[in-house]
Amino acid sequence: MAKENGEESIETLSVHAGREVEESTGAIKSPINLSTTFERAEDGSYPKGYIYSRNNNPNRESLEKCITFLERGEKCAAFSSGSAAAMAVFQSLSPGDHIICPEDMYHGIRNQINDIMKRWNLEVSYVDFTDIEKVKEEIHENTELIWMETPSNPLLKITDIKKTAKMAKEHEIISACDNTWSTPIIQRPLELGCDLVVYSTTKYFGGHSDAVGGAVVANKNVDLFDEIRNIQVEGGACPSPFDCWLISRGIRTLSLRMKKHSRNAMEIAEFLQGHPDVERVYYPGLKSHPRHEIAKKQMDSFSGMLSFQVKGGKDKAFDVASNVEIFTRATSLGSVESLIEHRSSIEGEKSQTPENLLRLSVGIEDADDLIDDLRDAL
């Protein structure tokens, strides 16, 4: 297939991109290549291009190529987790640089910035990205990065990616988007002008709750990527060949899964919105979502993540979570099975999440079964 130009649709690319038939055997599934080191030729060169597995290996290279194609980016670096991917972006900046982050964002990355990167002297402002003027007001002389996360975790806030990336560009600031909740099947931040896209591939890419990984994808002519690659190789937070293989396998069904996740979540959001014991539903696919129009502009569907607040406070929220039978009580997201989570208690003391909020990662089960489960639990 014409893998060179990446003109194929994303459904075709997710099945084929970056994957070759294995030459020595004709195997159509790539083997898991566990070798940590690769033979040099007599003249000292590396005839196959591989030196040592931390620098690069066939499984990682295949995964990176695949994600690059899906994102229509230029380069990708795969990491051992989404957290390591994010950290590589922050470490590519210099001490004293300033970054702007959304006030509602994945708590693990916020903790990483506050606990680790502040000691590296990275300055940070947390702003409500739904008001672009507020983001603009926070731009200082030393601002080097604007970090988006949309839809955000756990309040499903929507950032206008195109506008924010444009503003960043005008100020010569790097823009990055954590696109974990959407994947390129639904939302492609590079096409909307972002410089970098960051993923926890643990979630929808892997899709089966059995591999941890991350990735950073760069748009064309983003010089900072060289530094990120350097951090991947020299810092060594690399994914194992097996994890790359699992995530690559997950991606083959990504487009099908995202459609089903989105359809199920939409039905569940509508059901919850009409339920008398539900105070509020957060799902960008609902017309009642304050930023539905922007979401519709930049997303092809609305993914499988939603949150809702129950009437009756924390105890009622715990009751609901303890009553479900098909949903599993667990953190994480993006897998084929549906998960329910009382979010503020997993986020810990510093959580700003309402205590009556439950977050759902809607899986690919039958939507009616999931709705029945929630109806009974409520």
| Stretch near ligand PLP under the rule CB under 6 A, chosen from 2-10, 37-45, 175-183, 355-363 | 175-183
Q: Which residues pair with 197 in a beta bridge?
A: 177, 217
Of the residues 65, 188, 203, 257, which is catalytic?
A: 203
Is the CB of 180 or the CB of 301 nearer to ligand PLP? 180
Among 14, 200, 264, 301, binds ligand PLP (CB under 6 A): 200
* Catalytic (active site) residue 178: yes
Of 52-91, which residues contact ligand PLP (CB under 6 A)? 81-83
Closer CB to ligand PLP, 246 or 278, in the complex: 246
Is 296 one of the catalytic residues?
no
The two structure tokens encoding residue 65: 């190529």
- Tell me how far, at minimum, the Cβ of 271 lies from ligand PLP, in Å: 24
Which stretch, 16-24, 102-110, 250-258, 267-275, contacts ligand PLP (CB under 6 A)? 102-110
Tell me whether residue 54 is one of the annotated catalytic residues.
Answer: yes
Q: Dihedrals φ, ψ of 170, to 5°? A: -60, -30
- Is residue 347 close enough to count as binding ligand PLP by CB under 6 A? no
Q: Which of 153, 232, 335, 344 binds ligand PLP (CB under 6 A)?
A: 153
Angle between helices 367-377 and 313-323 (to 10 degrees): 130
**Are 116 and 83 within 8 A, CB to CB?**
no
Task: Give Cα 102 to chain centroid, integer Å.
Answer: 15
CB of 19 to ligand PLP, least distance (A): 23
Residue 212 CB, nearest approach to ligand PLP (Å):
5
- Of 14, 57, 62, 180, which one interacts with ligand PLP (CB under 6 A)? 180
Asked whether the bond before 151 is cis by omega within 30 degrees of 0, the reply is yes
Kindly name the residue from 3, 54, 72, 260 that is annotated as catalytic. 54
Q: Starting at the edge strand that comes first in sequence, how are the strands of the sheet with 174-178 ordered? A: 75-79, 214-218, 196-200, 174-178, 143-149, 98-102, 123-127
Answer yes or no whether residue 243 interacts with ligand PLP by CB under 6 A: no
Among 212, 321, 362, 371, binds ligand PLP (CB under 6 A): 212
Note whether 151 binds ligand PLP by CB under 6 A.
Answer: no
Q: How far is the CB of 333 from ligand PLP (least distance, A)?
A: 6
Task: Name the active-site residue from 104, 178, 195, 243.
Answer: 178
* Tokens representing residue 167 in the block: 């503003």
Q: In the complex, which residue's CB is closest to ligand PLP?
A: 82
Among 110, 203, 229, 359, binds ligand PLP (CB under 6 A): 203
> Which residue in the list 19, 97, 104, 106 is annotated as catalytic?
106
Whose structure tokens read 């033979």? Answer: 39
Among 58, 184, 207, 214, interactor with ligand PLP by CB under 6 A? 214
Residue with tokens 């970054």: 99
Residue (87 or 218) nearer to ligand PLP, CB:
87
Here's the x/- map for ligand PLP, 106-145, by CB under 6 A: it reads as x-xx------------------------------------
| In the complex, least distance from residue 149 CB atom to ligand PLP, rounded to whole angstroms | 6
Q: How far apart are CA 364 and CA 27, in angstroms?
A: 30
Determine the Cα–Cα distance for residues 348 and 327; give it in Å rounded to an integer.
Answer: 22
Residue (212 or 238) nearer to ligand PLP, CB = 212
> 342 with 318: CB under 8 angstroms?
yes
By CB under 6 A, the count of residues binding ligand PLP is 16
166 classed as catalytic: no
Catalytic residues: 54, 106, 178, 203
**What is the contact surface with ligand PLP in residues (CB under 6 A)?**
81-83, 106, 108-109, 149, 153, 178, 180-181, 200, 202-203, 212, 214
